[in-house]
Amino acid sequence: IFFRSKLFSVVFGNTMPRMRGGFSSMQASRVAAGHRAPAMFHDGGLVVPHNCEHQVKLSKDLMEAFPATCNTPAVELQPGQPSREPINIGVVLSGGQAPGGHNVIAGLFDYIKAVSPDSKLIGFRDGPHGIFSNIWDEVDASEIQSFRNTGGFDMLGSGRHKIESEEHFQASMKVCTDLNLHGLVVIGGDDSNSNACLLGEYFKAKGAKTRVVGCPKTIDGDLKNDSIPISFGFDTACRTYAEQVGNVARDALGTQKYYHFVRLMGRSASHIALEVALETRPNICIIGEEVDQKRQSLQGLTQQVADVVEKRAKDGKHFGVVLLPEGLIEFIPEIGELIGEVNELLAEGCDANDEALLAEGKLKPHSAQVFRILPPNIREQMLLDRDPHGNVQVAKIETETLLASTVAAELEARAQAKNTPKIPFVARFHAFGYEGRAALPSRFDAEYCYALGLTAGGLISAGLTSVMASVTNLLRPVEEWHCGGTPIPSMMNFERRKGKWKAVIAKALVLLDGAPFKAFSERREDWKCQDYYRCPGPLQFSTGDMDIPLTLKYELMPAGGTDPDPHVPASAAELQCKPFATQTAFGSHLHRPTPDFCLSALEKERLSYTPNTPACLRGPVKIESMGESQCARPKDSVIIQRNFPKTQGQPLVDLVADSAWSSTSETNWNLSVGVVFCGRQTPGGHNVVTGLHDVLSKNGGKLMGFIGGTRGLLAGSAIEITDAVLANYRNQGGVDLLGRSVDKLDESMADQVVKVCKSLSLGALVLVGGVRTQTDACYLAERLADVPGAPAIIGVPAGIDGAVHGAGVEASIGFDSACHMYAQLVGNTGTDAASARKYYHFLRVMGTSPSHMALEVAMLTRPNAVLLAEEVTHKRQSLRDLVNQLADLVVRRSQEGKDFGIILVPEGIAAAIPELATLIDELTGLQKLGLPAAEQIERLKPWSRAVYQSLPEFIKEGVMLERQSDEKIQLSQIESERLLAELVAAELEVRKGAKTYKGKFNPVCSFLGYQARGSLPSNFDCDLGYTLGMTAAHLAHGKCNGYLAIATGLKDSATSWSVGGLPLVSMLHAEDSTAPPVIPPARVELTGKAHAAMRAASADWVVEELYENPGPLQFGGATADNRSLTLQLEADPGYLQGLSSLHQELEAVRAACRPGCPSQQLQVIAQSLATLTNMIGLFHGEDVSSAANPLKRRRVVPL
């Protein structure tokens, strides 16, 4: 599993060797997928230019700036026979990463090798400085083959350096001349291609033979015109972001309590925000160009969002999704003007601090006033170092938190002015960025980039310079695409950069009179209050279709053409399914079925998936007892027997095919069952409901679903689940069919539960959730065990954290899907880090207190470091220990010339660090007393108070937040990754002073959380959820009270799984005699196979980049039915199967030891069994054999 990858050793022309890690199975399949190409390039076809007389008119200023290349024509390419002389071309990746760059290089390589096998491709390393610094290597066929259809720029590396001084231009020309290069291909965005234009001008003016051709790259989508319809990478990045936004929207709909503010990459244009909005239909999407045109102030934007929040509140909705581009802050007039002034001052050498900027006369009075009222974190982020082009790093400005804070203040001010209660407004924040830049390219980006590379080769072969490769006719199949070149000088204008006027390519902003924006503006009023959320789901590579972005479809749509994404339902029947037409309020929770027109193409496709199920569930079923159960830990038996006298000791049950059933047997169960989503959102939850329904409806039963989770159960808010209700929910993500509220159902609620269940004539109640849910189910089952007419309580294990695990429970529903989602994002980020080679990414992974998700994601992606809460607890590592551990890693990598990396942090790390855990426990106890925050801090013990006062403000705010319904801290709101990054940075500064470290440390922090809980479930989770739903139905029919539906043998095909019911009491632990027993979250077993395998492999991850990218979750193809690595490593032969085999062996022993058996045989078996019982005692940490210690033997007194 861990050493399946091949390592590729790449030796540069004049640099140290660099090792590259291998590929995941998905990456390998994409490498082998091959390419499609425009017909003119088929079978190694070559091209020549034609229609090249068209001259593009330039302004006088541009003609003066580019005298040697101002007359460059636009050209088209057609099949032809150019010279077959070998051609040498250099290629450089410039600027930020974009998916598909490797395919441009592949296309370029294939073209020049088609011209002549002796042609050479020279790859300049780590961006433009590789050209003037003479850092390169010759790219060969094996290297190219290893990177086809893969993401990132790590084949060559990238950089944002500029070739701008005379020294740089001279050095670049010398290097290209010495290498005998006929051409140089610059793969980059607007700034990089502006540089390419200057380089082409310089080379031609100086008589160099090297021609310069650009390829349009940027995920921002702001490099395009009539001849360049789209820049590559935009499609993949938008699909990656849209998948996350769609999942977040589904998550919001399930709980209905958060406003999610999502910041999307896109520095100077809002194309990404517009595309993602059209794909996902958020409630609000702010377009920067519209803000600029309307001169909307921050106050105006705040009021606009607050108006929507108020309007939604009147409809009972206190949740929503808000999208904004990262460059929004520059479009807000007063802040844009401030940034412009700050840029000028910094270019003049002004110090980047508040005091220097606010000195007399520096900033204009209005800008100084704006700067003063900005929150400190925004001011600090605004002053960060500029990029090499002089741009502010908008990716590091948390515009989403700024806007949410002003909206919260506005809502409070309105409530005070009207003397009315404040509208509930709880914000959650997301910044989606780096994970979109290096993803596996979509099929469109893969083929588009390959065509660009072929085209660039053809343009250089034709002797053209200062042109950009152009591929058009994109609405048609790949074979019909048109290829050519557009003169770069015609795309230029003059802009103010670093205090000077410079010629640069004009950015293509969102056109407010363009078709994409018009389509958006026609829809957005409906989106504000009607939740038309759509989940595009993960990119699929196994389907035959290749789609293009919606915005591109609109831009290329002919006049009078069909709307590519009609927002009006297609039929009268669908109109009746509009959300408001069927929306029903159940207490504070709103219920409405998802209409057809809210489903994405992939969601509709998933409706037809038929879950695989165990053979024993495909016909009549009977329940067999597997023998009386015992406590998970024998030492807890007395306490558990005392607390659970009615349900303790119930037998484990197995569901098997009923061979005695006949067609005349009774099939009308006359049974009604209720189902509740108690635990947090998890992929596969809807399949539990479908499995329940399908079994019950087939046998004359009925399923009732409680709307709004636990609160809905107590209120009796139920609907009957029918085929019509489930029509659009089979194999779908989230839990929005029924929704959820709080994960709390204690014994005090038992009477109300009985009352509600009796009113609905329910014979059983199924509770879906994690360890808290199942603990509550255990107590509820005991309480109702002898209550006449009470329902049987049955649990189903579900939760992305994998915390419900143990004997008989091999996996929780949702763990597999969520890990795939997070691993995709971590894998993308790892590729990005290896491409840019300048950032340390600290990635916090959701997962509550256990670290199962961090472990699984680490095994799938191979980061440089992964922290596990269980290791921290076991080793009693302090915060200082962890900081030193990570700082040591950074220093070690820096010594190898590597100032970048990936560090995974589990969500539960904060509660595992001893000093923080003690502080959190004390604050939790003080919160129970209802004390105000200031008094809580005052009452802390001296050590804990000292710890609290030493923490950064953002951690102080997190630990003081109101506790959850289970009285635990909100771990998702503790930015532990940021805490570690800041402390590591401080430690490295100390080491710099001591001259033990001299590298660069640029941390980037991200939280991978809400974007996985509502994702489309994997095939495995669809199968598991459906199977456990079916199992729960049969347990309900068998009146199995206090049982957890289980399936074992999960690493094998679903048809061979065994299913049954595990007594919930058998999972309880009693930590002490005073605390009530609970089902604890299963921790990562530090002696387990998965942990051992990961740690054995991870030693190689520290210095080497062995990153793997599992890619997006697939529903078809070779990887569609993959199981989690944890399951593959940890799962023993099925628990139920194992018990059955053991009982058979014991029966064989019993038969062999009947009276009359040979004495020697009896002695051998008896001794073997005695040894076995001693081993069992050691396993449980106790001695079960009196013979083990002669001092404890019972003396036999003779009569």
List active site positions.
Answer: 220
Which of 1040, 1047, 1000, 1042 is CA-nearest to residue 1023? Answer: 1047
Q: CB within 8 A of 567, min separation 6: which ones?
A: 519, 522, 523, 526, 532, 597
Q: How far apart are CA 974 and CA 916, in angstroms?
A: 11
Q: Is the dihedral of CA 395, 399, 401, 404 positive or negative?
A: negative
What is the number of residues in the chain?
1199
| Cα 273 to Cα 717: distance, rounded to the nearest angstrom | 38
Of residues 827, 838, 950, 829, the one with CA closest to residue 890? 838
The string of DSSP letters for 516-584 reads HHHHHHHHHHHHHHS-------S--SSSS-----HHHHHHHPPTTPPPSS--S-SSHHHHTT-HHHH-E
Q: What residues does 279 pair with on adjacent strands? A: none
Q: Are 834 and 900 in contact (CB under 8 A)?
A: yes
Strands (E) across 136-210 are located at 136-138, 183-188
AA identity, residue 377: N
What is the DSSP annotation of 1013-1063?
A: HTSPPPHHHHHHHHHHHHHHHHHHHTT-TTEEEEEE-TTS-GGG-EEEEEE
Cα separation of the two ends of the chain: 66
Measured CA to CA in angstroms, residue 1001 lies from 393, 545, 627, 800 at distances of 16, 43, 59, 33
Residues paired with residue 50 on neighbouring β-strands, in sequence order: 76
Relative to beta strand 718-721, strand 702-706 is antiparallel
As a whole number of Å, the CA-based R_g of the chain is 32
Structure token digits, residue 526: 């409906």
* Alpha-carbon span 124 to 503, nearest angstrom: 25
DSSP annotation of 480? G
Residues 6 or more apart in contact with residue 352 via CB below 8 angstroms: 346, 383, 384, 385
Residue 838, token pair as written in the block: 């300048």
If 0-12 CB within 10 Å is exposed, 13-18 middle and 19+ buried, where does residue 1151 land? exposed
Would you call 203 helix, strand, or coil by DSSP?
Answer: helix
**Cα–Cα nearest to 394, from 405, 380, 385, 382:** 382
d(CA 952, CA 957): 9
Angle at alpha carbon of residue 418, lines to 415 and 424, rounded to 5°: 25
CA distances (Å), origin 341, targets 330, 336, 380, 384: 12, 9, 16, 15
